[in-house]
Amino acid sequence: MSFLQVTLALLDGFKTTFILFAVTLLAAVPLGLLVCLGSKSRIPIVRIITRAFIWVIRGTPLMLQVLVVFYVPGLIFKMPFQSRMAAVIIAFIINYACYFSEIYRGGIESIPKGQYEAGQVLGMTKTQIFFRVVLMQVIKRILPPMSNEIITLVKDTSLARIISVGEVIRSAQDIVSGYALIWPLFYTGVFYLLFNGGLTLLLGWCEKKLSYYNG
């Protein structure tokens, strides 16, 4: 198998990696904010359930969560997942929404209470204060830790192979077993490095764009 053929095969697997990454990120970012609001709810039962759920998700391996999402519906409810990719996406979204929620919570709680009080003095509602005063400050403060989680997400996509989803490393493993070539497995590192390098530059640019506020 030639270098070009291996590259094309890995690119095909990387498409799955990219789709998993993009869908997870697009869904987990807003969902994480909702989970965060649930964990800070004034309704005790909502707050307790949300925080317990976050504790479970953050306290167990993502690989185990993928297996639970894929196999448990079939074992308990006799409704097996028809799509392995869908199961992986759901597990990833839930996992990263919980991690993002804690980052949001830390960012929100880092804003001085005086800013909330100033907004109330000006006659603003709590919703207006959050979106007009607090949100942009929170975004700037959480961007570095969010960037770390986003980079981690890229690497975590390799866990999809545990239920035979054909991401880039699974594609390399198929080549290794089918053609007795070991180097394609190491070659996958190039794809991760290039993608993470591009993300690092993009996220760094975003941080600079928000550097006008230094609070």
- Domain-wise residue ranges, the chain: 3-209
Query: What's the pLDDT tens digit per position in 38-97?
Result: 999 899 999 999 999 999 999 999 999 999 999 999 888 888 888 999 999 999 999 999
**Spatial distance between the Cα atoms of 155 and 10, rounded to a whole number of angstroms:** 15
pTM of the predicted structure, to 2 decimals: 0.90
Q: Which helix (H) or strand (E) holds 106?
A: helix 84-109
3-state secondary structure 6-52: HHHHHHHHHHHHHHHHHHHHHHHHHHHHHHHHHHCCCCHHHHHHHHH
Eight-state DSSP code of residue 123: T
- CATH-assigned architecture of domain 3-209: Orthogonal Bundle (1.10)
